[in-house]
Chains A and B, each alone.
Chain A
Amino acid sequence: MSTETLTADPAPVGPIARAVADGVMPGRVWMYANYHCNMACAYCLTESGPKVARRALDPETMIAVGEQARDLGFTDLGVTGGETFLMPHMPSTLVELSRRLPVVALTNGTLFGRRLLEKVEPLAECDVALQISLDRPDADVNDEMRAPDNFRKVVAAVPELVERGITVRIATTVESIDDAELDRLCALHRDLGVPDSDHIIRPIVRRGRADTRGMGLQAVQSDLPAELTITDDGAFWGPFGPTVHDDRLDTDLLVTRTTLPLETPARALLALLEGRPPGEDSTLNIR
C-alpha cells in the first residue's frame, strides 16, 4: 500500500455521492454569495443593483458548504451573486473553497483595479475559474443591456487576470446573436486570452428583471438544472431558482429553508429528483 493511499481522504459514500456518480444529481453546488451589485443589468435574475438587500452568505458558511459538499460527494462549487467581488472576503474565500473542490466564481469583471488584482493573484495557484460576463463585441450594444463602461472595464480586466495565470471564462447571455456578431465576439475573447473552450453562450431566462421586461425564455422546473443552490434564504433547485421579482424572493423553486447541514437540502433535492413523495426522508429530522 502506498503512502499516498494511506493519506488520501476516503472517497465519499452515501446516497448523494452515488447519485452524483450515477448522474442522477448534478455534481455542482452553487452559493449566492450576495445579491447586491454595482450594476443593474436589464436581464438580471435577481434584480441586483447597488441598493438592494445584500442577502449575503458569510465566509464561514460558504466554507462549511464547500466542506460538506465535498464530504457528501459533490464534485464542484459555483459562487454567484450579485457581484461577488463586492464582498471583501471573496479572494480568500475562493482560495479556501478551492482547497475543498474546484470552483467557478461569477463576476461582472468591473472591479478589478490594481488592489483587487493583487488580492486575487493567489487564485492562479488554485483550481478557481473566474467567469466574466461579456455579451457583445461592441461596447455600446453590450453596455446597453448591462451598464455604462462595462465593456471597457471587462476588456481591460480579462488580460490582466489571464496574465496573472488566473483561469478566465467568458459568459455571453443573449436572447439571440447573429453569426457575424458572434464571430467578432469570439475573436475578441481570443484576443483577450480566453480560448473557445472557456466561452459559454447561454439564453436569458425569463425570471427576475428579465420577466419584468418581457425578455428571455420561459422556463419551468424541468428545464432548469437541478444544481443544489445555497442562499441566505434557503436551498433552491438550481441557480435560476432564488430569483427576485418586484423586490420579492421567488420561492417556487425553493427546496428547503435549512442550508446546513448540507445533507438536509441535498437529500430533499435528491428525493425530488427521484420522484419520491415528500416526507419520505423525514427521519433526517429526528436528531
Chain B
Amino acid sequence: MAAVARVELDQVPLLARPYFAEGDPGPIVRALAQVPELLTVALPFIGQALGPSAISFRAKEIVIVRTSALAGCRFCVQTHAVVALDAGLSSAQVAALQSAGPAGHAFDDPQELALLRWVDVVAGGGAVEPDDRAAVLRHWADHEVVELTAVASTTLMLNRFATSLDLPTAPDALDRLDREGLL
C-alpha cells in the first residue's frame, strides 16, 4: 500500500528534535517533521488552537470529535474520542459525536447544544447564515465563537491531512475505545 513515510526516530531533523525529546510524538508530528520548517510553525499554532486555553477542555473536544466525524476522519475521531472521554464526556456523548448523525439527544446543556449546531454549520461546508451566527452568539461570547471556530477550522485541516496520509491510530487508543464500546 502506498504510504508517505513518517520520520524514523533515528532520522529526526534538527529543528524537529525538541518535539521528539520525550519519545515518539505521534504520527502527525512524525509526518510534519519531514518538513521541519513547517513543523516548527505549525505545532505551536495547532497546540494553541487545540490545547488548553480560555475555552474549556470539554468544549474543545466536542468541537474536535464532531468536526472530525463530519469530515470522515478516522484517525482524528479515534484519537480524540479517547481525549474526549478524558475531558469528561460520557461514552454515550462520544458515540453521538462520532456518529456524524444527529447528536443533540445526548446533550442537555443549552450552551453545548448551540455549540453542536454551530460545529455542524462550520464543518458542514457551504454558506453560513446570519441566523446561524446569531444562534451561537446567544450562548457564547464573541471571542469564544472566534476561538471555537478556529478549533473547528484547524481540526478540518488536520482531518484532511490525517485522512490523506492515512495516519495510523495508536494501538492504546484503539484498545481504550474497544473497552468503551466505541469502535
Contact = CB atoms under 8 A, between A and B. Distances in A.
Interface of A: 221, 237, 250-258, 264-265, 268, 272, 277-279, 282, 285
B40 A282 contact: yes
A282 B7 CA distance: 22
Given A277-B18, A278-B18, A255 B41 contact: no
Nearest to A235: B37
Majority SS at the chain B contact face: helix
Interface string B40-70: 1101100000000000000000000000000
B37 A285 contact: yes
B36 A257 contact: yes
Interface in B113-170: none
A272 B37 CA distance: 12
A237 B10 CA distance: 16
Contacts of B13: 251-255
Given A255-B15, A256-B15, A257-B35, A278 B10 contact: no
Interface of A, secondary structure class, is mixed
Nearest to A279: B40
Contacts of B16: 278
Contact of B37 (A221, A251, A252, A268): A268
Nearest to B44: A279
B2 interface: no
Contact of A272 (B15, B35, B39, B43): B15
Contact of B36 (A221, A250, A254, A277): A254
A222 to B, nearest CB: 11
B14 interface: yes
Contacts of A255: 13-15, 36
A257 B34 contact: yes
Interface size class of B (residues with CB under 8 A): 10 to 19
Contacts of A278: 15-16, 18, 36, 39-40
Nearest to A221: B14
Interface of B: 7, 10-16, 18, 34-41, 43-44
Nearest to A253: B14
A256 B18 contact: no
Contacts of B15: 255-256, 268, 272, 278
A265 B40 CA distance: 13
Contacts of B14: 221, 237, 252-255, 272
A251 B16 CA distance: 11
A129 B164 CA distance: 48
A253 B10 CA distance: 11
6 contacts: A237-B14, A251-B11, A251-B13, A257-B38, A258-B37, A282-B40
A285 B41 CA distance: 8
Nearest to A277: B18
A252 B41 contact: no
B11 A252 contact: yes
Contacts of A265: 37
A190 to B, nearest CB: 41
